[in-house]
Amino acid sequence: MRTTYFDNTRFPLALIATALPLLLAACGGGGGGDNGQPTTPTTPTGPQAVAIEFAAKAGSLPAKCGTPIAGIGTSQATVDLHDLRFYVSGVSLINDKGEAVAVTLDVNDWQTKEVTLIDLEDGTGACADAGTQAQNTQIKGTVPAGTYKGVRMTVGVPSSVNHTDYAVAPKPLDVQALAWSWQAGRKFAQIEVNPVGGVARPAPAAPGKTFYVHLGSTGCTGNPVTGETVSCARPDRMDFRFGDFNAGTQKVVLDIAQLLQGSNVKEDLGGAAGCMSGATDPECVPIFSALKIDLTTGRSINEGSGQTVFRTEAK
């Protein structure tokens, strides 16, 4: 290797100072990019993927088919999970400015552009009656690039796609078990438990096996089969939000112990077995209170503020 020394009698310091940056640039020095220019971090500008995960619990324990769940409701009953499915719509992330930014849903077997079906039953144990092995625990979609700190959503199917024939509807609106017989709507939520010993009912009704929680619009008029527009007096959709939520590190938990906290699941005092969204059904009083839905109007109370049925936990 040949080493060159500079003789400052022949190469003045000013000339060396001028030449040194040129030498560094020629050698790719100076910490720049491929073109020798300083590298500036870039901020993503395209859509970013988001996946919101759900789980089911009873208190601190997982709630799943085939595993008895103790301490449910006012009678502290032991129950078997019979079904746990619900539709979610209107999903938005809350950005760092406090603005709600809609999530553009991926279209797949569990989602249309408007709605996602969350299915937390696996068709085993008591869930084999009407359930399926397939499950879906996530809302998947995209949002514009940005910083997000919260989330909001609605348990329910938008009216624009709710009142349709399930037999010809796209997935996941084609599930027969979630078809609502009134005006061809949907059960927004179908959460059911089988208490040990059954459900006592007023005579002459025979005891039942299942305590039902079916959420859906009621007081509807108009026949969609003949092309009429359906209007429902009681929409019965549940809104909720979390001001502090990170989809990358947290999940949304549905707690059936909180949903049924004020209910005696071993007894039905009248109306449909359990609560099927009837405005005069005594079993719907504590259920709708837990969901923060006004039982008389069927409208969400203060956007679900104070509800405890859903919460967030670390993944």
pLDDT at 4: 38
Q: What is the pTM of this model?
A: 0.86
pLDDT at 37: 55
Q: How far apart are CA 306 and CA 67, in angstroms?
A: 30
pLDDT at 190: 98
- Structure token digits, residue 229: 């527009």
State whether 144 and 213 are in the same domain: yes
Range of the domain at 258: 48-314
pLDDT at 183: 80
- Could you tell me if 55 and 84 are in contact, meaning their C-beta atoms sit under 8 angstroms apart? no
User: What length is written for the chain?
Assistant: 315
State whether 82 and 26 are in the same domain: no
State whether 137 and 259 are in the same domain: yes
Q: How far apart are CA 39 and CA 80, in angstroms?
A: 60
Residues of the chain predicted below pLDDT 50: 1-34, 40-41
Which helix (H) or strand (E) element contains residue 23?
A: helix 13-26
State whether 60 and 201 are in the same domain: yes
State whether 15 and 65 are in the same domain: no
State whether 184 and 271 are in the same domain: yes
Number of domains in the chain: 2
State whether 23 and 59 are in the same domain: no
Q: Which of 177, 172, 312, 185 lies closest to 254, judged by CA?
A: 312
- Structure token digits, residue 218: 């009621």
pLDDT at 38: 52
State whether 89 and 201 are in the same domain: yes
Q: What DSSP string describes 170-226? A: PTTTT-GGGEETGGGEE-SEEEEEEETT-BB--TTSPPBS-EEEEE--EEEE--GGG
Within a domain: 202: yes
pLDDT at 25: 37
State whether 118 and 31 are in the same domain: no
